[in-house]
Amino acid sequence: MTIGRTQPRRPRLVPSSTTAPPREQVLHAAAQLFVAKGFSATSTREIAERVGIRQASLYYHFSGKDEILAELLERSVRPTVDRVERIEKLTAAESPETALYLLALVDIHTLAEAPDNIGTLATHPDVTSSEAFDAFRRIRAELAGAYGRIASRAAAPGVAAAADPSHLGEMLLHLVEATTSLRGSGVPIDDATAAVIASTCLRACGIPDSRIAPASLSAAAVIDQVRSAGVQRLDHGR
């Protein structure tokens, strides 16, 4: 989605009140408006006014509303997808339930720390019907596939035999995405809450508590390595 622009930036209507780069300010303002008003009801003029720049200056950073939405949606899922390989490598010598617990925990952190609770945008009808949603759908499907692949190795025999990996992955992804609903309800997504959600994912796979507890401890021992590892940055400045 990188778009070359060589024209000089136009001056702001008002001075910036934050040290964040202008592009980040646009994303933040757009996220607030999209979540509060809806994507369709928000204009690029409103976004520019919220940032304090001219509408024409917004187009220096983004081609339009769809590009802004696409990047916001991707930020709610891409950080986890980019860490899947790292998760599987770090847990190769561990039990498969450790890998599943760690994946859920990393994903919960991604959703909990995403600015303006942008994960909720994926549930808005005017967003899901937009062209910008297509790229997000593909990345999300990649993440669901990772959940299904790891969960099929960790699940109890009865669950693994009864559930197709793709269905299992989608189910677990929905469980983790409850993080956005909890945030929207004012529930703090602290370590205790994250542990409850991750443990619920394992229980849904028929894994007993006697195996969940050690998986939790093993995941906690390496999660900082996963989260601090260099993650591919999107070309368009994510």
Q: Which CATH number fits domain 74-228: 3.30.420, 3.90.320, 1.10.3470, 1.10.357?
A: 1.10.357
On whether the 22-62 domain is CATH 1.10.10.60, my answer is yes
Residue 17 has a pLDDT of: 53
Per residue in 79-103, pLDDT tens? Answer: 999 999 999 999 999 999 999 999 9
**Separation of alpha carbons 163 and 157, rounded Å:** 10
List CB contacts of 158: < 8 A, sequence separation 6 or more.
Answer: 206
- The structure's pTM equals 0.85
Residue 144 has a pLDDT of: 97
pLDDT at position 179 over 90: yes
Cβ proximity of 113 and 77 under 8 Å: no
Q: Which of 13-27, 134-148, 164-178 has the lowest mean pLDDT?
A: 13-27
Q: Where in the chain is the domain with CATH 1.10.10.60?
A: 22-62
Per residue in 2-50, pLDDT tens? Answer: 334 434 343 344 444 567 899 999 999 999 999 999 999 999 999 999 9
**Separation of alpha carbons 67 and 44, rounded Å:** 11
Q: Where in the chain is the domain with CATH 1.10.357?
A: 74-228
